[in-house]
């Protein structure tokens, strides 16, 4: 089986850069916590080791939760854009090679937009829960 070449477009690369920039302060805290843990291990102080271990665990959890949340937000944006693109395609004529209306292709696109809508609703519901939890933690309103 031949290896498939995957190309990333500039929009995908920009989205990845946004994600990395948003994660930078959290990733920095995680790295500092790991270094503090190593230093505590080297010192041999049991209390310092436990405190550093807890800090490292909290930083790791925050980093993973933030990554998950940002990916979910990106999924919502992607699904919304996909729905718009499919709806624009459905708004015009969908012709086959003979210039006739292609009912099968139209049905496939309608099924795809329906599936994308249900995925978007699910993703938005999951994101709403996370947004409320984050708002409660920060004391802000969602």
For residue range 17-62, what is the model confidence (pLDDT) as tens digits?
Answer: 777 787 788 889 999 999 999 999 999 999 999 999 999 999 999 8
How confident is the model over 1-14, as a mean pLDDT? 65
pLDDT at site 139: 60
Q: What percent of the chain has pLDDT over 90?
A: 49
pLDDT at site 133: 75
Q: 92 in helix, strand or coil?
A: coil
CA distances to 35, 48, 79 from 85, rounded to whole Å, are 47, 55, 10
pLDDT confidence bin for 134, thresholds 50/70/90:
low
Q: What's the CA gap between 70 and 27, in Å, rounded?
A: 14
Q: What's the CA gap between 133 and 4, in Å, rounded?
A: 40
- Cβ–Cβ under 8 Å, residues 62 and 54: no
pTM: 0.65
Q: What's the CA gap between 1 and 113, in Å, rounded?
A: 32
pLDDT in tens, 49-97: 999 999 999 999 988 888 888 888 888 888 998 999 999 999 999 988 8
pLDDT greater than 60 at residue 114: yes
Question: CA geometry: angle at 122 spanning 71 and 87, to 5°?
Answer: 90
């Amino acid at each position: 089986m031949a290896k498939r070449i995957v190309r990333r477009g500039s929009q995908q690369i920009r989205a990845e850069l946004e994600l990395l920039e948003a994660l930078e302060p959290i990733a920095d805290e995680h790295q500092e916590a790991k270094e503090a843990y190593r230093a505590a291990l080297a010192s041999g102080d049991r209390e310092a080791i436990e405190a550093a271990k807890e800090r490292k665990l909290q930083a790791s959890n925050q980093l993973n939760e933030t990554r998950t949340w940002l990916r979910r937000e990106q999924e919502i944006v992607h699904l919304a854009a996909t729905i718009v693109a499919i709806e624009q395609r459905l708004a015009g004529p969908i012709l086959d090679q003979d210039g006739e209306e292609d009912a099968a292709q139209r049905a496939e696109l309608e099924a795809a937009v329906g599936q994308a809508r249900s995925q978007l609703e699910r993703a938005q519901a999951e994101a709403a829960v996370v947004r409320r939890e984050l708002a409660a933690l920060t004391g802000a309103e969602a």
